[in-house]
Amino acid sequence: MDNSVLVNENFSFLFEKDLLNEMATVARYKIVKKDEFLMDIGQEMTFMPLIISGAIKVFRTDNDGDDYILYFIEGGDTCAMTLNCCIKGAKSEIKAIAETDSELLLIPIHKLEDWLHFKSWRSFVFGSYNNRFSEMLEAVDSLAFMNMNARVLKYLKDKVLANKSEFLEITHNTISLELNTSRVVISRILKKLEIDNQIKLHRNQIEVINF
DNA sequence: TCATTAACACGGG
DNA sequence: CCCGTGTTAATGA
């Protein structure tokens, strides 16, 4: 599909015309499949991703190499760490994996600064930074203050939002890896949630009820 | 008390 | 048979 059509169809409600035109000339359209790596720790950022459709999950890796999920990024948004890295010219401190098949618009990283004279771009960048900051705080709260029970429930609800579906194709083991705990714990908590009528368990699938 | 690890049984594909 | 799931027992933080 033509770039300018793509940009206009998806972002005309966000950005002014001049910016949309510039975007069309430099953006690259990319499709990623579920579970595809977008970014790994230490990798240099060369672009910022604008998400047209789908969702991306973002992980932090600790010193032992264990991953913790931070948040999901959904359509019409971008990743805060890209904004950070652009300014510092640094390398990625996070890991990003496609949660679902997704369509992205890749913007060369230096454009982030070049476009700051556009009012709509400033709003978008700062707004997105704000969103990511809130979600980061939630992630900190989740790790520091919530018990595993609440963390699992938050994880499931965030995942429902990211996937736009109450039917989550996932195994207990995968959840335990993303939350960095053991499968025994996840199985027990999920069973309890099922008894409390919050979810229904199936093989390779969890249905979230009353969302 | 609650998480982890290992171990085992059950069942569906 | 292999894998996901449910559960228990032992151990530790």
| C-alpha triplet A208, A55, A180: angle, nearest 5° | 65
Distance CA(A87)–CA(A128), nearest Å, equals 15
Cα–Cα separations (whole angstroms), residue A56 to A14, A73, A118: 20, 5, 26
Q: In the predicted model, what is the mean pLDDT of chain A?
A: 87
Q: Kindly report, residue by residue over A79-95, the tens digit of the pLDDT.
A: 766 776 666 666 777 88
* A148 CB inside 7 Å of strand B: yes
A149 touches strand C (CB under 7 A): no
Domain boundaries, chain A: 3-144, 147-208
Q: How far, in Å, are A51, A88, A126, A180 from residue A64 at the CA level?
A: 31, 25, 33, 12
Give me the pLDDT at residue A146, please.
78
Q: How much is the pTM?
A: 0.85
CATH number of this structure's domain A147-208: 1.10.10.10
Across A53-79, average pLDDT: 84
Can you tell me the mean pLDDT for A155-172? 92
Share of chain A above pLDDT 90, in %: 46
CA of residue A78 to C1' of nucleotide C7, angstroms: 43
| CATH superfamily name and code, A3-144 | Jelly Rolls (2.60.120.10)
